[in-house]
Amino acid sequence: MNPGFTWNIVTDFQWMWSVPSMVNAFRGGFVVAIMAGVVGWFMVLRKQSFAGHSIAVTGFPGAAAAVYFGLSATLGYFGFCIGSALVIALFSRGGDSGAGDRAHSSALIAIVQAFALALGALFLSLYGGFLDSTSSFLFGDFLGITSTDVLTLTVVAAVVLACTAVLGRRLLFASVDPAVAAARGVPVRGMNLVFLVLLGATVAEVSKFTGSLLVFALLVMPAATAQVLTARPGFSLLITAVIGVLVTWVGLTWAYFGNQATGFTITSLAFGCYVVAFAVRFLRAQLSDARSTLEHAEAVA
């Protein structure tokens, strides 16, 4: 049982940060939030959230298979997530060539997801029972992060973010207007392949801490919230990173003092930010309409 919140903020935080697992959770959560936020921002912009969700789901059977064969769960996460990303990238027809091609791509993504879940059920049955770590595979375990995990996560994040930065301008162009980008010589299909591999690596690493089902809390919600608030790419990316870090750190604090699951607290906060963003946009639109009406009335008068 964790100590309750006493409103003596300094003492409370000193007590929380005296626990090594919480220190590692905050460090790892910061790295996860930044990496998932940046890659998730492009994923939402490219309208590939369904693909991202399917790739995340494949991490579960990957981890279960690795444990069944006596291998590291990390190997299973990366193998299945990147493998599914390659399948989706190589066999989908892209979303800019017509409704039929988009339907084909959506069907392919759904097939990958369904088969991944079936494989997860298979490996659970082969194991002869319910894996003790199934809950962490699905819902994560931020409080089980070690210093080695934080270091590994930082290295993976640095590689993913560096690749994203190098491809940033062309990837943004290909995401916003793929037809024009292709006409200007941007290898749109190649961009899609590379991005999905980066997405697979991100999902594999983040899933180790958030779980295969809750990875979307940090991959989608901060990015979607930021894009509701502003269309400016640079500012939107900054907002995404800030929201991701805040909901992760506040969620960890809430989970510690409230004895709640970190998956619930982080996801709830991220969802709350998304709802507030929509409310802000609605109020902004109402004020703009009222201002336009008033200006029109004054012009007529």
Reduced to 3 states (helix: H, G, I; strand: E, B; else coil), residue 203 is helix
pLDDT higher for 237 or 291? 237
Q: Residue 30: is its pLDDT beyond 90?
A: yes
Across the range 113-121, mean pLDDT stands at: 83
Q: What is the pTM of this model?
A: 0.84
In angstroms, the CA 226 to CA 20 distance is: 32
Q: Report pLDDT digits (tens) over 75-116.
A: 888 888 899 899 888 887 654 444 445 666 778 888 888 888
3-class SS of residue 267: helix
pLDDT surpassing 80 at residue 157 = yes
Residue 136 contacts residue 76 (beta carbons within 8 Å): no
Q: What is the DSSP letter of 71?
A: -
Start-end of H helices in the chain = 9-16, 20-45, 49-68, 73-91, 99-127, 134-139, 147-176, 178-183, 188-214, 216-219, 221-229, 233-258, 262-300
pLDDT band, residue 136 (cuts 50/70/90): low
Distance, CA of 193 to CA of 87 (rounded, Å): 10
User: What is the rounded average pLDDT for all residues in the chain?
Assistant: 83
pLDDT in tens, 211-260: 766 777 889 999 999 999 998 999 999 999 999 999 999 999 988 888 88
Tens digit of pLDDT for each residue in 166-223? 998 999 998 888 888 888 888 988 898 999 999 999 988 887 777 766 777 889 999 9
Three-state SS at 69: coil
What is the structure's pLDDT at 135?
62
75 near 66, Cβ under 8 Å?
yes
As a residue count, the chain comes to: 301
Q: Can you give the pLDDT at residue 38?
A: 94
CA distance 220 to 240: 10
The class that CATH gives domain 9-300 is: mainly alpha
pLDDT digits (tens, 9 = 90+) for 45-74: 998 888 888 888 888 888 888 878 888 878
